[in-house]
Structure 1
Amino acid sequence: MEHLVRDPARRTRVYYLKPEGMEAAFKVTVTLRARMVEKWIRRVKRDFLDAATTNCVGLDCEFTDPRKKKAGEEQRAAVLQLSLASETLVFQMIHADIKVPQVLKDFLEDGNIRFRGAAIGNDVKKLRLEGIHITCAYDYDLQKIVSNPTTKTVRVVFSP
């Protein structure tokens, strides 16, 4: 991932990725700015979540390097990724102007939004260190959702 902090003039970049064979492009916003996080949240709420019967957002975190931590220090959330529909936000918290904007905290703690991710329990735990308490997190066990190509049996389980 690009390290935006090296160029102080460009603290946000927007990419449009169009996979071959797909009509629509994915919009990926990579930012260090709390203001851009707020704009992204307002836009996806207005364009997607307000009209949806079930509010579901993909969530993933990357953490600080465990080899660089001081003795007794916990790994911290460094990068937060949120995705829904064709929109993705990559917020580089570790270098951000405001580490956890209040709008982001309110969004992540909204009990009406289901946050889903692979092994999301560790992400939720690390985000608690930042003062964020996600109440509606659901784990995707991809081995249960996607069939194993090496076996002949197919077992598909969807969790709420």
Structure 2
Amino acid sequence: MQISQVRSALADAARAVVLPAGVRKLTCSGFVPDAVTEPHFFVGEYQQTFDRAMRRGLDEIEFTCRVLVGRQDDRAAQELVDAMLSGSGSASLKAAMEAARGAPGEYALSGAAHDLHVTRSQGPRWYEHAGTQYVGAEMTVKVIGEGA
């Protein structure tokens, strides 16, 4: 697996989210941005486990992804985060990213990995990013793919 390619593909998958009427389209990046245009999803830190199968057959990477929302209205911001953390629905990040798993027998993330699974989320809470306060949440995405 090429980590940068996987990060970009995760951001592409998150772009499929459809937010409620009146909310700007979700902006997405596969890297930690200097500044965000909210609402914004990005792929942050990751932890990689090598050699889950012999001879570099399989690696596993757990990505921490974040979504940040403007806090002009605390309740509305938290409700938007709730919608994106939901397990299903048009605003669900889990549903959007897991749709990128591909059909049975196909590689995930347009060929960047063998498979992925959104394993958990936590939030909402306050985040400071580049000196600005946001309401946000984190998601953990486990990705497996060839190590060689």
What band does the TM-score fall into relative to the shorter chain? Answer: under 0.3
- By relative contact order (CA 8 Å, sep 6+), the higher-ranking structure is 2
Provide the TM-score with structure 2 as the length reference.
0.26
- Give the structure with the larger strand fraction: 2
